[in-house]
């Protein structure tokens, strides 16, 4: 009997095609089908009735049992609709990329052995006596330094256990976290209970860094695992460190803990296989892990839910893993927990309108919150470091503690300008000001990498009166060294620290107190945990505030809150924020320690301006090598969708009009009904204008993270 199926093609973004098959097939199976003269992989997404046109036959079946469940297929279908993507493009995300390059990135670190498999797995197999010896030691202490183990246990024994996948060698900087199953305090216990009592509702754990949020979701995970279900924990790219993996393994020695992210190299496939076969109990991963077709999922946690790395914006499909996670949890009836010290304004709003259950933790169990003050930099022309900040830096150093200075931009001078005609030196490929790098003695573009020598005259008026303005990390480092010649200063930015090794090295120096002052960009705001940082200086709070984006204030709030979180981990901390906008709502609420004030003000503002969560945004960008082609295209698009169920802003030149020699125009849509709006766009704009072809020049970003 011949039957017909809709097959969505892999890596070939068009709507599903109909093929015939003489054998029965299950939905969700992968198959090989002919497309013109080539063979392609496809996904069976549904049954079709016999078409009137001639169809070709499915050539091969890849999965005897489909890896993609009905529920995951439903998720794929919904997300394809939500993000205006063909379903094949979403289904591709369920699998590790077929061509994986390289091994895990190498870093010079300490090697530790940890248990990889669960205890029951290991004990149910036959072990040699040397093998048992090592396993027993690991059960006792969780980790053993590789070199220490080698002194007592032959290398062949370790190798054999590695081959059986019972143990793993993990490398990282510093000491492994010691296993301590904490007993939760009353607030933590109450949150755990409340979440377990209403598993069908989404939950937000909202509390400052170090307030014990991780311990709360660990406990929930523990309860879920006991029922035999699996746990998925999503973390921002920057936080997925070996330390976190070890901490999780140490907390759950009886379970298999897997890891999934894009820079795993070839081991990504192994991790994926373990997860889909049910061998992994807890999967820790970044954005892409949300698509791993784990069966029996009982809990999804999203840590630091506001993190930008959850949004895929640089390539199709432009999804946000937090939103996908919420829908996946609903479909799979898994518990859904968000955790953050600085949630997105939208999430905060949902938590206060009871669409998400809010759980607050106000205090750190240990350590105090730092004291925060603002220095008004208006009328202090040319001053980079205020007297107040310098005085405090001096005191901090005399106490034997460390200072972190946050500077938003790298380089020496962030602006080079002609004093006579006002011309600002910009990149020939991008529409951005060039930064002067003193050590390179060059002007550099931070978007495309273009460099040129420092000019001896203005190309417009010929004047020699060319000056440098704007402050970058190099300049601050230079100033600090001048003021404190005796102190050891380190700079951390992408220019100075361009690989994992150099980052690990400098972090080690900081923890060994070989550095007094750290000057750095956003790279230093997150995750770093040093007990001796007593002072954090925000050299320029105004930069992110001035971004032409609806999230500018929110970003500043999150950035400075996180930066402040660096202070006072072990010693009493102080934060000094330099700004020309001392009355800004974000800054004021950071100083008063009242985050709710910030959120309330910001929600009011978003409401007035019709921004999320009150209206949803769609950003349509037209890209072209020639500006008039890009413009023509965006005008055409606008005409085609003018009667849509949304408000259209634009077209305007994108905030960075020219980027890497590509010109960009954009339309911003404000929608009351997002699904209806996306549906309208898909119907109105033909496949070609929609950019299903990867070389196409129209980008439709549903719920863009920023409009910048
Ligand atoms: P967050 O996730 O909010 O940053 P963590 O859960 O990581 O906070 O907790 C910060 C530190 O405090 C960790 O070292 C953790 O083990 C410890 N901690 C958290 N809760 C407790 C508790 N109830 N008793 C003892 N230590 C705790
Ligand atoms: Zn000039
Ligand atoms: Zn450039």
What integer pLDDT is reported at residue 559 of this predicted model?
Answer: 87
- Ligand located closest to 463 CA: 2
Most confident of 84-93, 146-155, 625-634: 84-93
Q: Report yes or no: 489 and 481 within 8 Å, Cβ to Cβ.
A: yes
What integer pLDDT is reported at residue 500 of this predicted model?
Answer: 67
Share of the chain above pLDDT 90, in %: 58
- Which of 521 and 108 is assigned the larger pLDDT? 521
Q: Provide the pLDDT confidence category of residue 107 given band limits of 50, 70 and 90.
A: very low
Reply yes or no on whether the pLDDT at 528 is more than 80. Answer: no
Q: Report yes or no: 521 and 493 within 8 Å, Cβ to Cβ.
A: yes
DSSP state of 267: H
CA angle centred on 50, ends 48 and 51, rounded to 5° = 95
What integer pLDDT is reported at residue 215 of this predicted model?
Answer: 95
Q: Is 391 exposed, middle or buried (0-12, 13-18, 19+ CB in 10 A)?
A: exposed
What integer pLDDT is reported at residue 366 of this predicted model?
Answer: 60
Pairing outcome for strands 143-145 and 110-115? antiparallel
- Which of 180 and 234 is assigned the larger pLDDT? 234
- Least confident among 56-65, 88-97, 200-209, 520-529: 520-529
Quick one: average pLDDT of 530-540? 89
The C-alpha atoms of residue 265 and residue 248 are separated, in whole angstroms, by 22
205, 216, 252, 365, best to mutate for ligand 1 pocket (most atoms within 8 Å of CB): 365
pTM: 0.85
What integer pLDDT is reported at residue 694 of this predicted model?
Answer: 43
Domain 186-361 sits in CATH 3.40.50.300 = yes
Helix 552-564 and helix 595-608, axial crossing angle in degrees, nearest 10: 170
> How many whole angstroms from 115 Cα to the centroid of ligand 3?
48
What integer pLDDT is reported at residue 248 of this predicted model?
Answer: 92
- Ligand located closest to 434 CA: 3
Q: Closest by alpha carbon to 522, among 486, 494, 550?
A: 494
Report DSSP letters for 582-640, one per residue.
Answer: TT-HHHHHHHHT-HHHHHHHHHHHHHHTT-TTTSEEEEEEEEESSHHHHHHHHHHHHHH
What integer pLDDT is reported at residue 102 of this predicted model?
Answer: 54
177, 182, 236, best to mutate for ligand 1 pocket (most atoms within 8 Å of CB): 182
What integer pLDDT is reported at residue 570 of this predicted model?
Answer: 67
**Beta-carbon contacts of residue 678 (< 8 Å; ≥ 6 apart):** 81, 82, 83, 84, 618, 702
Neighbours of 41 (CB within 10 A): 20
Point out the ligand 1 atom lying closest to the alpha carbon of residue 185.
Answer: 23
Helix 595-608 and helix 345-352, axial crossing angle in degrees, nearest 10: 100
- Which of 683 and 482 is assigned the larger pLDDT? 482
CATH architecture of 371-409+471-605: 3-Layer(aba) Sandwich (3.40)
What integer pLDDT is reported at residue 100 of this predicted model?
Answer: 58
Q: Report yes or no: 643 and 677 within 8 Å, Cβ to Cβ.
A: no
Reply yes or no on whether the pLDDT at 27 is more than 80. Answer: yes
> How many whole angstroms from 252 Cα to the centroid of ligand 2?
65
- CATH code: domain 3-92 is 3.40.1440.60
Which structure tokens are listed for 1? Answer: 């009997």
Report CA torsion sign: 148, 152, 156, 161.
negative
As beta bridge partners, residue 668 has: 619, 649
Which structure tokens are listed for 412? Answer: 């020496």
pLDDT tens-place string over residues 639-659: 999 999 999 999 999 988 999
Quick one: average pLDDT of 421-432? 90
- Ligand located closest to 445 CA: 3
Domain 3-92 and domain 616-702 have a common topology: no
> Whose alpha carbon is nearest atom 11 of ligand 1?
210
What integer pLDDT is reported at residue 626 of this predicted model?
Answer: 87
Q: Report yes or no: 667 and 617 within 8 Å, Cβ to Cβ.
A: no
What integer pLDDT is reported at residue 114 of this predicted model?
Answer: 82
Q: Closest by alpha carbon to 620, among 642, 593, 598?
A: 642
Quick one: average pLDDT of 29-50? 94
Residues with Cβ within 5 Å of ion ligand 3? 427, 429-430, 445, 447-448, 450
Query: What strands, in cross-sheet order, belong to the sheet with 371-376?
Result: 371-376, 574-579, 533-538, 402-406, 517-520, 489-492
The C-alpha atoms of residue 566 and residue 574 are separated, in whole angstroms, by 10
Reply yes or no on whether the pLDDT at 693 is more than 50. Answer: no
What integer pLDDT is reported at residue 514 of this predicted model?
Answer: 95
What integer pLDDT is reported at residue 165 of this predicted model?
Answer: 82
- Least confident among 57-71, 107-121, 196-210, 338-352: 107-121
- CATH code: domain 616-702 is 3.30.70.600
Q: Provide the pLDDT confidence category of residue 180 given band limits of 50, 70 and 90.
A: low
Neighbours of 313 (CB within 10 A): 15
What integer pLDDT is reported at residue 562 of this predicted model?
Answer: 84
The C-alpha atoms of residue 519 and residue 308 are separated, in whole angstroms, by 23
- Which of 41 and 561 is assigned the larger pLDDT? 41
Report CA torsion sign: 691, 695, 699, 703.
positive
The C-alpha atoms of residue 183 and residue 202 are separated, in whole angstroms, by 25
- Ligand located closest to 251 CA: 1
> How many whole angstroms from 437 Cα to the centroid of ligand 3?
15
- Least confident among 430-434, 502-506, 590-594, 609-613: 502-506
Q: Which residues line ligand 1 (CB under 6 A)?
A: 182, 184-185, 188, 207, 209-215, 365
> How many whole angstroms from 117 Cα to the centroid of ligand 1?
26
204, 214, 531, 566, best to mutate for ligand 1 pocket (most atoms within 8 Å of CB): 214
- Ligand located closest to 449 CA: 3
Sequence spans of domains, the chain? 3-92, 109-173, 186-361, 371-409+471-605, 616-702
Reply yes or no on whether the pLDDT at 668 is more than 90. Answer: yes
Reply yes or no on whether the pLDDT at 692 is more than 50. Answer: no
> How many whole angstroms from 426 Cα to the centroid of ligand 3?
8
Which residue is it, tokens 């020639």?
626
What integer pLDDT is reported at residue 609 of this predicted model?
Answer: 92
Give the H or E element holding residue 141.
helix 129-141
Query: What strands, in cross-sheet order, belong to the sheet with 662-671?
Result: 646-659, 662-671, 616-624, 698-702
> How many whole angstroms from 459 Cα to the centroid of ligand 2?
7
E strands, 148-303, are 167-172, 202-207, 230-234, 257-260, 282-285, 297-303
Share of the chain above pLDDT 70, in %: 94
> How many whole angstroms from 600 Cα to the centroid of ligand 1?
28
> How many whole angstroms from 340 Cα to the centroid of ligand 1?
14
What integer pLDDT is reported at residue 447 of this predicted model?
Answer: 84
């Amino acid at each position: 009997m011949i039957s017909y199926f809709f097959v969505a093609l892999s890596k070939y973004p068009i709507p599903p095609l109909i093929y015939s098959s003489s054998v029965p097939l299950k939905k969700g199976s992968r198959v090989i089908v002919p497309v013109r003269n080539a063979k392609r992989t496809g996904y069976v997404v549904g049954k079709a009735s016999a078409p009137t046109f001639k169809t070709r036959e499915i050539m091969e079946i890849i999965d005897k049992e489909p890896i993609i469940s009905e529920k995951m297929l439903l998720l794929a279908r919904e997300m394809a609709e939500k993000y205006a993507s063909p379903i094949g493009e979403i289904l591709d995300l369920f699998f590790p990329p077929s061509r994986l390059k390289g091994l895990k990135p190498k870093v010079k670190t300490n090697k530790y052995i940890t248990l990889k498999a669960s205890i029951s797995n290991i004990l149910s197999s036959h072990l040699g006596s040397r093998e048992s010896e090592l396993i027993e030691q690991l059960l006792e202490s969780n980790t053993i330094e590789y070199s220490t183990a080698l002194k007592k246990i032959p290398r062949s024994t370790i190798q054999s256990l590695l081959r059986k996948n019972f143990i793993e060698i993990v490398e990282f900087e510093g000491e492994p976290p010691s296993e301590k199953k904490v007993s939760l305090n009353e607030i933590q216990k109450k949150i755990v209970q409340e979440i377990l009592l209403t598993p069908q509702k989404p939950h937000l754990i909202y509390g400052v860094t170090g307030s014990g949020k991780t311990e709360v979701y660990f406990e929930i995970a523990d309860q879920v695992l006991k029922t035999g279900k699996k746990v998925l924990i999503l973390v921002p790219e920057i936080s997925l460190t070996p330390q976190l993996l070890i901490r999780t393994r140490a907390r759950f020695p009886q379970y298999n803990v897997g890891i999934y992210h894009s820079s795993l190299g070839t081991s990504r496939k192994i991790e994926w296989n373990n997860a889909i076969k049910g061998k992994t109990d807890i999967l820790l991963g970044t954005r892409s892990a949300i698509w791993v077709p784990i069966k029996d999922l009982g809990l999804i946690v999203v840590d630091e839910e506001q993190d930008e790395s959850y949004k895929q914006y640089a390539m199709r499909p432009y999804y946000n893993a937090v939103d996908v996670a919420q829908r996946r949890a609903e479909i799979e009836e898994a518990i859904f927990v968000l955790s953050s010290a600085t949630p997105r304004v939208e999430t905060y709003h949902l938590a206060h309108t009871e669409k998400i259950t809010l759980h607050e933790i106000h205090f750190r169990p240990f350590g105090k919150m730092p004291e925060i003050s603002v220095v008004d930099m208006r009328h202090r022309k040319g001053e980079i470091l205020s007297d107040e900040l310098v005085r405090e830096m001096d005191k901090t150093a005399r106490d034997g503690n460390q200072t972190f200075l946050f500077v938003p931009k790298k380089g020496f001078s962030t602006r080079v300008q002609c004093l006579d005609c006002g011309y600002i030196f910009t990149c020939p490929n991008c529409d951005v000001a060039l930064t002067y790098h003193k050590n390179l003695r060059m002007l550099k573009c931070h978007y495309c990498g273009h460099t040129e020598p420092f000019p001896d005259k203005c190309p417009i008026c010929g004047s020699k009166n060319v000056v440098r303005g704007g402050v970058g990390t190099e300049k601050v480092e230079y100033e600090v060294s001048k003021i404190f010649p005796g102190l050891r200063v380190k700079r951390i930015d992408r220019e100075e620290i361009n690989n994992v090794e150099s980052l690990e090295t400098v972090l080690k120096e900081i923890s060994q107190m070989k550095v007094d002052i750290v000057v750095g960009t956003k790279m230093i705001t997150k995750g770093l945990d040093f007990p001796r940082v007593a002072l954090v200086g925000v050299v320029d709070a105004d930069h992110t505030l001035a971004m032409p984006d609806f999230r500018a204030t929110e970003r500043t709030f999150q950035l400075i809150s996180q930066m402040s979180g660096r202070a006072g981990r072990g010693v009493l901390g102080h934060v000094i924020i330099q700004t020309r906008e001392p009355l800004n709502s974000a800054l004021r609420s950071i100083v008063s320690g009242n985050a709710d004030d910030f959120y309330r003000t910001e929600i009011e503002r978003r409401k007035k301006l019709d921004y999320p969560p009150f209206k949803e945004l769609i950003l349509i960008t037209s890209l072209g090598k020639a500006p008039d082609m890009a413009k023509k295209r965006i005008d055409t698009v606008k005409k085609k969708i003018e009667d849509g169920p949304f408000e259209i802003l634009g077209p305007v030149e994108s905030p960075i009009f020219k980027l890497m020699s590509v010109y960009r125009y954009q339309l911003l849509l404000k929608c009351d009904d997002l699904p209806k709006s996306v549906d309208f766009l898909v119907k109105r704009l033909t496949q070609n204008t929609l950019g299903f072809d990867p070389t196409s020049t129209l980008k439709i970003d549903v719920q863009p993270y920023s409009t910048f």
